[in-house]
Amino acid sequence: MNIQETITKILVDKLGIAETEVTPDANFVKDLGIDSLDYAELVMEFEQTFDIRIPDEDAEKLQTINQAVTYIQGKMK
Protein backbone atom coordinates (compact mmCIF):
# COMPACT_ATOMS: atom_id res chain seq x y z
CA MET A 1 0.00 0.00 0.00
CA ASN A 2 1.39 3.37 -1.01
CA ILE A 3 0.87 5.77 1.89
CA GLN A 4 0.95 8.94 -0.21
CA GLU A 5 -1.60 7.56 -2.69
CA THR A 6 -3.85 6.54 0.20
CA ILE A 7 -3.59 9.99 1.82
CA THR A 8 -4.37 11.60 -1.53
CA LYS A 9 -7.43 9.36 -1.91
CA ILE A 10 -8.63 10.31 1.59
CA LEU A 11 -8.22 14.04 0.85
CA VAL A 12 -10.05 13.74 -2.47
CA ASP A 13 -12.83 11.38 -1.33
CA LYS A 14 -13.53 12.67 2.18
CA LEU A 15 -12.75 16.38 1.89
CA GLY A 16 -13.43 17.01 -1.79
CA ILE A 17 -9.99 18.44 -2.53
CA ALA A 18 -8.91 18.42 -6.18
CA GLU A 19 -6.31 15.72 -6.79
CA THR A 20 -4.15 18.24 -8.70
CA GLU A 21 -3.77 20.29 -5.49
CA VAL A 22 -2.49 17.34 -3.47
CA THR A 23 1.30 17.54 -3.71
CA PRO A 24 3.91 16.21 -1.24
CA ASP A 25 4.69 19.73 -0.01
CA ALA A 26 1.08 20.89 0.16
CA ASN A 27 0.28 22.37 3.56
CA PHE A 28 -3.06 21.06 4.81
CA VAL A 29 -4.22 24.46 6.07
CA LYS A 30 -2.44 27.02 3.88
CA ASP A 31 -2.54 25.19 0.54
CA LEU A 32 -5.54 22.90 0.85
CA GLY A 33 -7.72 25.13 3.01
CA ILE A 34 -8.49 22.47 5.60
CA ASP A 35 -10.05 23.83 8.79
CA SER A 36 -9.63 22.38 12.28
CA LEU A 37 -12.78 20.27 12.01
CA ASP A 38 -11.71 18.75 8.69
CA TYR A 39 -8.25 18.21 10.12
CA ALA A 40 -9.60 16.27 13.10
CA GLU A 41 -11.61 14.13 10.69
CA LEU A 42 -8.52 13.62 8.55
CA VAL A 43 -6.43 12.45 11.52
CA MET A 44 -9.17 10.01 12.55
CA GLU A 45 -9.30 8.75 8.97
CA PHE A 46 -5.52 8.20 9.01
CA GLU A 47 -5.83 6.28 12.29
CA GLN A 48 -8.55 4.00 10.94
CA THR A 49 -7.04 3.50 7.49
CA PHE A 50 -3.50 2.74 8.67
CA ASP A 51 -4.51 1.18 12.00
CA ILE A 52 -2.30 3.50 14.06
CA ARG A 53 -2.80 5.91 16.95
CA ILE A 54 -1.88 9.57 16.44
CA PRO A 55 -1.66 11.53 19.71
CA ASP A 56 -2.88 15.15 19.56
CA GLU A 57 0.60 16.59 20.08
CA ASP A 58 1.83 14.60 17.06
CA ALA A 59 -1.19 15.51 14.95
CA GLU A 60 -0.40 19.20 15.45
CA LYS A 61 3.02 18.68 13.86
CA LEU A 62 1.65 17.12 10.68
CA GLN A 63 1.34 20.16 8.46
CA THR A 64 2.18 18.82 5.01
CA ILE A 65 1.35 15.66 3.13
CA ASN A 66 5.03 14.71 3.17
CA GLN A 67 5.17 15.03 6.97
CA ALA A 68 2.07 12.86 7.28
CA VAL A 69 3.56 10.19 4.98
CA THR A 70 6.84 10.11 6.93
CA TYR A 71 5.02 10.00 10.27
CA ILE A 72 2.69 7.19 9.20
CA GLN A 73 5.59 5.17 7.76
CA GLY A 74 7.36 5.46 11.11
CA LYS A 75 4.27 4.33 13.02
CA MET A 76 3.74 1.29 10.79
CA LYS A 77 7.23 -0.18 11.27
Check 35, 51, 56, 58 and give the catalytic one: 35
- How far is residue 67 from each of residues 27, 64, 70, measured CA to CA in Å? 9, 5, 5
User: Is residue 58 among the annotated active site residues?
Assistant: no
If DSSP codes are grouped into helix, strand and coil, which group holds residue 64?
strand
Active-site amino acid positions = 35
